[in-house]
Protein backbone atom coordinates (compact mmCIF):
# COMPACT_ATOMS: atom_id res chain seq x y z
CA UNK A 1 0.00 0.00 0.00
CA UNK A 2 1.98 2.98 -1.23
CA UNK A 3 -0.83 5.50 -1.70
CA UNK A 4 -4.14 5.76 0.13
CA UNK A 5 -7.02 6.30 -2.28
CA UNK A 6 -8.39 9.83 -2.38
CA UNK A 7 -11.88 8.40 -1.88
CA UNK A 8 -11.09 6.82 1.52
CA UNK A 9 -12.41 8.78 4.52
CA UNK A 10 -12.26 6.02 7.14
CA UNK A 11 -9.59 3.34 7.46
CA UNK A 12 -10.08 0.70 10.16
CA UNK A 13 -7.26 -1.78 10.60
CA UNK A 14 -8.10 -2.62 14.23
CA UNK A 15 -6.36 -5.81 15.39
CA UNK A 16 -5.26 -6.57 11.84
CA UNK A 17 -2.07 -8.53 11.26
CA UNK A 18 -1.24 -5.88 8.66
CA UNK A 19 -0.49 -3.17 11.22
CA UNK A 20 2.99 -4.37 12.26
CA UNK A 21 3.85 -4.81 8.57
CA UNK A 22 3.10 -1.20 7.57
CA UNK A 23 6.13 0.31 5.87
CA UNK A 24 7.52 3.81 5.76
CA UNK A 25 5.67 4.24 2.45
CA UNK A 26 2.34 3.86 4.26
CA UNK A 27 3.24 6.58 6.77
CA UNK A 28 4.40 8.91 3.99
CA UNK A 29 1.10 8.31 2.16
CA UNK A 30 -0.77 9.02 5.39
CA UNK A 31 1.05 12.32 5.78
CA UNK A 32 0.21 13.34 2.22
CA UNK A 33 -3.43 12.19 2.22
CA UNK A 34 -6.07 14.92 1.96
CA UNK A 35 -9.31 12.96 2.46
CA UNK A 36 -8.77 10.50 5.33
CA UNK A 37 -10.71 11.66 8.40
CA UNK A 38 -10.52 8.66 10.76
CA UNK A 39 -7.78 6.07 11.22
CA UNK A 40 -7.95 3.11 13.59
CA UNK A 41 -4.68 1.27 14.19
CA UNK A 42 -5.59 -0.39 17.52
CA UNK A 43 -3.37 -3.42 18.07
CA UNK A 44 -2.08 -5.73 20.75
CA UNK A 45 1.29 -6.05 18.99
CA UNK A 46 4.32 -4.09 20.19
CA UNK A 47 4.75 -1.24 17.75
CA UNK A 48 8.08 0.25 16.78
CA UNK A 49 6.72 2.75 14.25
CA UNK A 50 5.52 5.34 16.75
CA UNK A 51 7.97 7.94 15.45
CA UNK A 52 6.85 7.42 11.84
CA UNK A 53 3.19 7.67 12.85
CA UNK A 54 3.84 10.89 14.77
CA UNK A 55 5.60 12.43 11.77
CA UNK A 56 2.77 11.34 9.46
CA UNK A 57 0.11 12.93 11.67
CA UNK A 58 2.10 16.16 11.90
CA UNK A 59 2.68 16.23 8.15
CA UNK A 60 -1.00 15.59 7.48
CA UNK A 61 -1.90 18.61 9.61
CA UNK A 62 0.78 20.78 7.99
CA UNK A 63 -0.43 19.88 4.49
CA UNK A 64 -4.07 20.67 5.42
CA UNK A 65 -5.19 17.05 5.48
CA UNK A 66 -8.61 16.09 6.82
CA UNK A 67 -7.45 13.74 9.59
CA UNK A 68 -9.63 14.47 12.63
CA UNK A 69 -9.37 11.34 14.75
CA UNK A 70 -6.94 8.50 15.21
CA UNK A 71 -7.10 5.51 17.51
CA UNK A 72 -3.85 3.77 18.47
CA UNK A 73 -4.94 1.82 21.54
CA UNK A 74 -2.19 -0.34 23.05
CA UNK A 75 0.63 1.08 20.92
CA UNK A 76 2.48 2.13 24.07
**Residue 61: which domain range?**
10-71
Residue 76 falls inside a structural domain: no
pLDDT at 2: 53
Residue 63 falls inside a structural domain: yes
The number of distinct structural domains making up the chain is 1
Q: What is the DSSP string of the chain?
A: --S--TT--EEE-TT-TTGGG--HHHHHHHHH-SS--EEE---SSPPS-HHHHHHHHHHHHHTT----EEE-TT--
Residue 3 falls inside a structural domain: no
Q: Which of 69, 27, 71, 70 is nearest to 48 (CA)?
A: 27
Residue 16 falls inside a structural domain: yes
Residue 5 falls inside a structural domain: no
Render pLDDT for 15-68 as a digit per residue (tens, 0 to 9).
999 999 999 999 999 999 999 999 999 999 888 889 999 999 999 999 999 999
Amino acid sequence: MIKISGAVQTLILKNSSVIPQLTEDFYIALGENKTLEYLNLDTTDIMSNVKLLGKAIAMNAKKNGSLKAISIRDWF
